[in-house]
Amino acid sequence: MMVRRLVCVGALAAAVAGCRRENPVEQAGALPAAGRSASDAALASEPGSGDLLATWVAGEGSSWHVYFARSADRGASWSAPVQVTGEAGEVTPTGEASPRLVAAGRGRIAVVWPRPIAVAGRQWPASAIRIARSSDGGRTWSAPLTLNDDTASAAAGHNFHGATWVGDSGILVAWLDERHGDSAIAAEAKLTAGEPTSEPDAVVYAARSTDFGKSWEPNRPLWGAACPCCRVTLARMNDGAALAAWRQHYPGNIRDVVVAPVADRRAAPVRVHRDDWAFPGCPHAGPAVAIGRDGTEHVVWYTGKPGGAGIYYARVDSSGRAGEALTLVTGDHIAPSHAAAVALGDGGALAAFDAASDGSRMIGVARIGPDGRIVWESSVDGSSGGRYPQLARAADGTALLAWTGDSAGATVVRLARVPATRLN
C-alpha cells in the first residue's frame, strides 16, 4: 500500500523540523445524489466567479443522465443538481470516456460526452460525440448536438474525448475516431499496420467552434496511429490555444504518451518519455496534462512496462523539450490506472491517481515542486477502491479532488480537499 507521508525538502528543514507523518488531504463529502448511483465526475473552476463546477453521471439500470451543480464555498456545499441530458440512452457510465466540462466565464458552460449507438455485429457499441451548452451559468441547457460530421455513413466509434475553452468564445473538442484520415495520417497508420493488436488504431479528430458552440467548423483529422481507447486530453494554453495529449502507437507495438499543440498547421507530437512499453492492445488509460503560468506542460500518465509499471510525471518546457520522468507510484502488479493534474502558481503541479504500489485501487495525491521533486505524497483516507480522479483549483488556492467510489452496492462521487497551505 502507498505510504502516507510528508516529504521534507532540504536537509536544513529536515534537521530543524523533522518530517511529520500526516495526511494533507481532507475529506469533503460527496456530490449531491441524483440517482441510486453516481460516477464519472468532471470538475472545473469558473473564470471570473471562481466557483467550482461539477458534472457527473447518475441513475441506475438503463436510465442514466448527466447532471450539473456548482459550489461557491470550495465544494463544501453544492447547488441542487440540474439534469443536462433529456432522453434516455444519451449517456452511460464509461470511466475513461466520461463527460468533459468546459467553463469559459460569463455564464458559458459546456458538457461533452459520447452517446452509445448499438450496432448489430459490433463487439462494442458505436458512438457519437455530443455537446450541450448553457449561457446562464448552468441553470438551463441546450438540446444536445452531435459533433462528428460523418453521421450519414455507417455508425462508427467516436469516443475517448477531451474538451477545452479556446480563445475568448471558442470550444475545441478532440476524440479518437474510426474514420480514415488524409494521406499524411494514413501514412502514419501504415507504420504500425500488420502488428498483432487486439484493436485497430484510431485517428485523433477535432471540431472547433468560435461562438461557444452555436456553429462548428468541419471535423479535422489531426494525428494517426493513436492508441484507440486511451482518452485524448485537452488543456488551454496561456495564449488561448489548446494542447492535446494522448497515447501514441509506435512501431513494435510501443504505447507511449505524446503531446502536441492543436494549430492550423499540424504539429509533430513530442514524446513525453521513452517508456518503450510494448503492449499488443490499448490499456484504456490516457494521460493528464495541465499548463503552468510559464507555459510548462505538466504531464501525468500510466505505463505498464514490465519492471516499471506505475504512474509517472514529467514536464515539457515552453520550447517543447521533455524533462526526466518522476516516479509517483510503482509496483509489480499495478493495472492500467488513471490520473489528473492541475498546475500551481509556483511552477509546480498537483497530481492525483488511482493506484497503490501493492496493485490495489486507492486514490493517491502528489505535490510536485517547481524543481520537479516531490514535496509530499499521500494516499486519501477512505478511498480504497476509488477510481478516475479529477482535480480543480478553487479561487482561494485550495484544490478539490473527486473520484468514483463504492457505497452499499452502488457508486458515489466522493470529494476531498487539499488546503492552500499544502499547495502554496
Whether residue 338 contacts residue 370, with contact meaning beta carbons closer than 8 Å, is answered with: no
Residue 188 has pLDDT above 70, yes or no: yes
pLDDT category at 17 given cuts 50, 70, 90 is: very low
Report pTM. Answer: 0.94
- The predicted pLDDT at position 153 comes to 85
Between residues 22 and 394, the one the model is more confident about:
394
- The predicted pLDDT at position 203 comes to 96
Cβ neighbours of residue 345 closer than 8 Å, sequence gap 6 or more: 293, 397, 424
Residue 2 has pLDDT above 50, yes or no: no
- The predicted pLDDT at position 34 comes to 86
User: Shortest CA distance to 109 belongs to which of 244, 212, 211?
Assistant: 212
Q: Please give the mean pLDDT across all residues of the chain.
A: 92
- The predicted pLDDT at position 152 comes to 84
**In this structure, what C-alpha cell is assigned to residue 334?**
499495478
- The predicted pLDDT at position 16 comes to 32
Whether residue 68 contacts residue 84, with contact meaning beta carbons closer than 8 Å, is answered with: yes
Residue 11 has pLDDT above 50, yes or no: no
pLDDT digits (tens, 9 = 90+) for 84-134: 999 989 999 999 999 999 999 999 999 999 999 999 888 889 999 999 999
Residue 325 has pLDDT above 50, yes or no: yes
Domain range summary for the chain, segments of one domain joined by +: 5-422
- The predicted pLDDT at position 88 comes to 87
Residue 232 has pLDDT above 90, yes or no: yes
CB atoms within 10 A of CB 21: 10
The amino acid that residue 132 corresponds to is A
**Class assignment of domain 5-422?**
mainly beta
Quote the Cα angle for 399-404-409, to 5°: 145
Helix or strand holding residue 185 (H, E): helix 183-190
CB atoms within 10 A of CB 168: 11
**In this structure, what C-alpha cell is assigned to residue 86?**
433529456
Residue 18 has pLDDT above 50, yes or no: no
pLDDT digits (tens, 9 = 90+) for 328-356: 999 999 999 999 999 999 999 999 999 99
CA distances, 221 to each of 100, 164, 184, 255, 299 (Å):
20, 17, 10, 20, 23
Whether residue 401 contacts residue 390, with contact meaning beta carbons closer than 8 Å, is answered with: yes
pLDDT digits (tens, 9 = 90+) for 52-83: 999 999 998 889 999 999 999 999 999 999 99
| Region of poorest pLDDT, from 35-39, 89-93, 122-126, 212-216 | 122-126
How far is residue 259's CA from residue 278's CA, in Å, rounded to a whole number?
A: 19
Percentage of the residues of the chain whose pLDDT score is greater than 70: 95
pLDDT category at 7 given cuts 50, 70, 90 is: very low
Q: Is 26 exposed, middle or buried (0-12, 13-18, 19+ CB in 10 A)?
A: middle
Provide the 3-class DSSP secondary structure of residue 75: coil
Q: Highest mean pLDDT range out of 9-13, 149-153, 414-418? A: 414-418
